[in-house]
Amino acid sequence: MPTIANNKIALDGGTGSFSATLENLESGTQYYIRAYAITSAGTSYSVERTFTTASESPALVDNDHLLLGNPTGATTNMVNANNYLMVKPQYCLSYNNSKRTANWVAWHLNSSWLGGVSRQGDFRADYTLPDTWYRVTESDYYYSQYGFDRGHMCPSADRTATVADNSATFLMTNMVPQSPKNNQIVWESLENYCRNLAKSGSELYIISGPYGEGGTSDKGTFSILKSGVVVPSHVWKIALVLPNGNNDLSRITPSTRVIAVVIPNNQECSSKPWTSYRVSVDSIENLTGYDFFTNIPKDIQEALEAKVDNQ
């Protein structure tokens, strides 16, 4: 508990001032304080003041899903309902309660996440959302009416080491409505490419999410489903690729490979391979307003964000 040093002053009359030192304060905590004076007429109290101590920055640890940064400054305060941080062992995400999808999902990928577990397919509501929020269910995409897939952000096939890991990817907070030819052809092709890099000695820091409103399936163009889920006009993904190793942040240089794509959420997108949709990270920042790679030194960050992958 906080304590106050024994600072007192004695006055014969008139006015005066004093200071006190607060010790043993906890980080990220709100405190209330007021001073008082004892006189011959009794005790008088000052107006109550409040302050909140700064939160401690968590240590940056290799393989943390958010090692490269939190692009929207998402927090676990439910007041922050449209930028609500959810941290899971398998991935992290910023949830948007108004859109009823994630703003972004971030995950680390290397061969240790890959095994022989089969696809669980257990789409379900995420009951770790606050009790007062609507929790999107497995049937809320109304495929027969709207024609959109429950599209994974963190792929099922990126989490096959254990049943629990794979099952976690089927939480609806990890889904956005994707047109089938986006999800099953172009998006899946990029997922497979990234996974093959991980199988071949690389580790990847990946983040993806929806952008805009208004996607197109075989049943038409829709901006919002009757469950309140917003249909994006595009989906985007960024993957930073490193050879397997340690001290990952220190190994990132201006020549580190970064793959970034923005893909239309429609049925025509499959007419081109995923490589045709490569862009710079800067362009995704301009679209979304997010700030990526904030834990990377500024000069390296700027170099990485400006280039477009061509490998």
The domain segmentation of the chain, as residue ranges, is 3-52, 84-306
DSSP state letters, the chain = --EE-------SSS-------EESPPTT-EEEE--EEEETTEEEEPPPEEEEPPPPPPPP-TT-TTTT--TT--BS-TTSTTSEEEE-SS-EEEEETTTTEEEEEEEEE-GGG--SPPP----B--TTS-TTS----TTTT-HHHH--EEEESS-GGG--SSHHHHHHTTBGGGEEEE-HHIIIIIIHHHHHHHHHHHHTTEEEEEEEEEESS-EEETTEEESB-TTSPBPPSEEEEEEEEEES-S-HHHH--TTSEEEEEEEESSSSGGGS-GGGGB-BHHHHHHHH-----TTS-HHHHHHHHH-B---
3-state secondary structure 139-180: CCCCHHHHCCEEEECCCHHHCCCCHHHHHHCCEHHHEEEECH
> According to the model, what pLDDT value does residue 12 have?
62
Residue 194 to residue 281: CA distance in whole angstroms: 17
* Matching CATH number, 84-306, of 3.40.570.10, 3.40.1190.20, 3.60.9.10, 3.40.50.410: 3.40.570.10
* Element at 122 (helix H, strand E): none
CATH number of 3-52: 2.60.40
Closest alpha carbon to 205 in 107, 296, 293, 290: 107
Residue 58 to residue 144: CA distance in whole angstroms: 45
Active site annotation includes 234: no
> According to the model, what pLDDT value does residue 137 have?
98
Q: How confident is the prediction along the chain (311 residues), in pLDDT tens digits per residue?
A: 455 555 565 666 666 666 666 766 666 566 677 777 777 777 777 777 776 665 555 568 889 999 999 999 999 999 999 999 999 999 999 999 999 999 999 999 999 999 999 999 999 999 999 999 999 999 999 999 999 999 999 999 999 999 999 999 999 999 999 999 999 999 999 999 999 999 999 999 999 999 999 999 999 999 999 999 999 999 999 999 999 999 999 999 999 999 999 999 999 999 999 999 999 999 999 999 999 999 999 999 999 999 999 99
223: number of Cβ within 10 Å: 12
For residue 284, the SS3 value is: helix
Q: What token pair was written down for 99?
A: 């859109």
For residue 101, the SS3 value is: strand
